[in-house]
Structure 1
Amino acid sequence: MTLSLEAAEQAMHWQLELQAPDVSEQTRAQCQRWREQDPAHELAWQHSQRFFQRMQDVRAPAHQALVSAALRPALSRRQVVKHLAVLMVAGATAWSAKDSELLQHWTSDYSTTVGERWRIDLADNTQVQLNTDSAIDVQYTHERRQIHLLRGEILVDPNPADSRPLWVQTAEGLTRAVSGRFSVRQRDGFTQLGADQGALSVQIPSRSLVLQPSELISFDAHTVLARRPQRDGELAWLGGMIVAQGMRLEDFLEELSRYRRGRLACDPAVRGLRVSGTYPLADTDRILAALAQTLQLDVQHFTRFWVTLKPRQHLV
């Protein structure tokens, strides 16, 4: 049976109705009757259930662009429903990469969910700390040790007593630890690598280079994109914190969204506001409340997983 746009819109309408904190039993009963009226309605409902579940874990930038287009703060509720329905009907291809991430969670050697951090000790006593929403595979042989960062961010503290070379593979290249701990983050289309303590040897197809302590480098499969000193607070996640020093609000929310299920957005009028401070990641709602108070913003909860910061509306 083919999913129709009309049924998809109706399913999205009921999804949003049922997510209201004060939803009534009458509304629940009306939704149930609608589902029972037509097999096409039940099909659309099941699709909408899966769609909303996937929306709660939006991470890939390509997916964020799709969802952002659908849920612009300026849109009316009716327009939002229509946009969501279009995404749901045409969403099989768009969400395939997310399905791949879910598969990674179950098949990788070690992984964390959104908001979770985990420290592990590998067979050689090398310590690896996984940041939020990260996954790795580990392969050790008699000749070498290798960690494959599938997604997310890790901090690696190698065991110097093991003489085998230690490599970390990302989508863009290989990094070899020479001495001391280092961080690796898989970004969209490039790798970000930081030498926290000790030197690193980086191999990409076009060249090899050595990264000195306290340096950070970004590279893709072809070239070095940026090289700079590490900033204070870039590893604050190890202590469960997020640090901003004059960061644009839009960029801060993008970083914060890594630790929170769902999607954070801000009105274009306020995205250039500057954020500074140290915030505990244990309660992202408190962070949003603090931002709203400091920057004079309103926090708009469109659904339980969609939050937008907007200019404060002053009552007259």
Structure 2
Amino acid sequence: MTEAQRAALKAASGWYARLCAGDSDTHEQQAWQHWYDADELHRQAWQQIEQLREQLGLLPGPIASSTLRGVDHGRRRLLGSLALVGLALPLGWFAWHSDTRRYWLADYRSGVGERRQWQLSDGSQLMLGTASAAQWHVDGQRRLLRLVSGEALIQSLDEARPLLVETRHGVVRSEGARFCVRSDEQGCRVAVLEQRVEVAPLRHLQAMQPLLAGQQLHFDAERLWAPRANDAATTAWTQGSLIALDQPLGEVIAELARYRHGVLRIDPALAGLKVSGSFPLADTDRALAALEHSFPLRVVRRSDYWVTLVPKV
């Protein structure tokens, strides 16, 4: 690694810690954008920081700061690891640009464990779930909400211009509907609560298909799955709850993990255990305690940011 690459990685780690601290303002975000755009080495370093962020389990800013910018010998070891990670990254890993970059530049953002609400400039209502972000654009012909990451509840106004919700997997078109959209790397789910929407996957945008109130479906860039009925779990997150209906414990834990900082893991031996119940998303420790009380498992804490569920012996 050259000195220039090392310096870029040090700067990138500092920017990551500052932005994740939760108190960055528009001026600081613009300064980061200027740094990011100024040099290809900066962009490469930021991509490497993003990869390490995934390996560290999305640690919050203060923890990331001590990890990424700790004592000198620790930093040198980390930077060496970053170099190896960078060499291993496939070129297509950031195909939809940088999610982290889009998150910080988004018009609307929520942190881990947060639910936030806004009224958009056209009067529509937007709620974002945990660690979600959206960009908003209005012109004379359309209204566009780009869901960068996470999940959203949208109450769109019925007017001449359609509201388009764009995700990496496709588009949802609304003219006055109330609906939820959730997007991740695997695909997208849309659930209609009132009125109707139209949905199209990215590769077939001309083939819009209707989805009616009370229905939901999953789609990716290639195809739409068959619609199915909404249930009690569909919008539970908007009320701060996770409702499991005879659901594998592995899926429940994966959902709870989205609402807490650090790493939450489950022993594979427990992943298929079927669970039903309602769990508070604002207090995931209480949710884990309820699971520990009701099922043959133990919650093992290496720290507040590293928790594993293992079988009770």
1:192 maps to which residue?
A: 189
CA distance in 2, matches of 1:94, 1:261: 25
Task: Say which SS state the counterpart of residue 227 (structure 2) adopts.
Answer: strand
Q: Does 1:182 align with 2:183?
A: no
2:259 maps to which residue?
A: 259
What amino acid maps onto 2:167 in structure 1? T
Mark the CA change 1:87 to 1:292 in structure 2 (over 3 Å): closer, same or farther: farther
Map residues 215-226 of structure 1 onto 2, 5 A cutoff: 215-226=215-226
Map residues 140-219 of structure 1 onto 2, 5 A cutoff: 140-160=138-158, 162-204=159-201, 205-206=203-204, 207-219=207-219
CA distance in 2, matches of 1:248, 1:258: 16
Deviations 1:123-175 (A, max 9, x none): 11100100101111101001111101111010110122x32111111112221
TM-superposed CA distance for 1:85, in Å, is 11
2:128 maps to which residue?
A: 130
Contact 2:110 2:131 in 1 (8 A): yes
Task: Say which SS state the counterpart of residue 279 (structure 2) adopts.
Answer: strand
Contact 1:182 1:197 in 2 (8 A): yes
What amino acid maps onto 1:174 in structure 2? V
Deviations 1:160-207 (A, max 9, x none): 2x3211111111222111332011111223221111111111233432
CA distance in 1, matches of 2:53, 2:138: 39
Q: Does 1:91 align with 2:91?
A: no
Contact 1:219 1:226 in 2 (8 A): no
TM-superposed CA distance for 1:227, in Å, is 2.1
1:114 maps to which residue?
A: 112
Deviations 1:49-82 (A, max 9, x none): x957972417xxxxxxxxxxxxxxxxxxxxxxxx
1:268 maps to which residue?
A: 268
Deviations 1:7-32 (A, max 9, x none): xxxxxxxxxxxxxxxxxxxxxxxxxx
What amino acid maps onto 1:134 in structure 2? S
Mark the CA change 1:219 to 1:53 in structure 2 (over 3 Å): closer, same or farther: closer
Contact 2:52 2:82 in 1 (8 A): yes
Contact 2:103 2:149 in 1 (8 A): no
CA distance in 1, matches of 2:243, 2:253: 12
CA distance in 2, matches of 1:86, 1:121: 46
Task: Say which SS state the counterpart of residue 259 (structure 1) adopts.
Answer: coil
Map residues 59-70 of structure 1 onto 2, 5 A cutoff: none
What amino acid maps onto 2:84 in structure 1? A
CA distance in 2, matches of 1:52, 1:129: 26
Contact 2:103 2:148 in 1 (8 A): no
Contact 1:178 1:201 in 2 (8 A): no
TM-superposed CA distance for 1:251, in Å, is 0.7
Mark the CA change 1:170 to 1:269 in structure 2 (over 3 Å): closer, same or farther: same
What amino acid maps onto 1:249 in structure 2? L
CA distance in 2, matches of 1:187, 1:102: 13
What TM-score results when the alignment is normalised by the length of structure 2? 0.70
CA distance in 1, matches of 2:242, 2:80: 36
2:56 maps to which residue?
A: 55
1:19 maps to which residue?
A: none
Mark the CA change 1:196 to 1:52 in structure 2 (over 3 Å): closer, same or farther: closer
TM-superposed CA distance for 1:115, in Å, is 0.6
Q: Does 1:250 align with 2:250?
A: yes
CA distance in 2, matches of 1:86, 1:302: 25
What amino acid maps onto 1:180 in structure 2? A
Larger Rg: 1
CA distance in 2, matches of 1:113, 1:87: 27
Task: Say which SS state the counterpart of residue 98 (structure 2) adopts.
Answer: helix
Q: What fraction of aligned residue pairs are identical, expressed as a percent?
A: 33
When the two structures are aligned, how many residues end up with a matched partner?
243
CA distance in 2, matches of 1:102, 1:258: 16
CA distance in 2, matches of 1:300, 1:149: 35
2:24 maps to which residue?
A: none
Task: Say which SS state the counterpart of residue 164 (structure 2) adopts.
Answer: strand
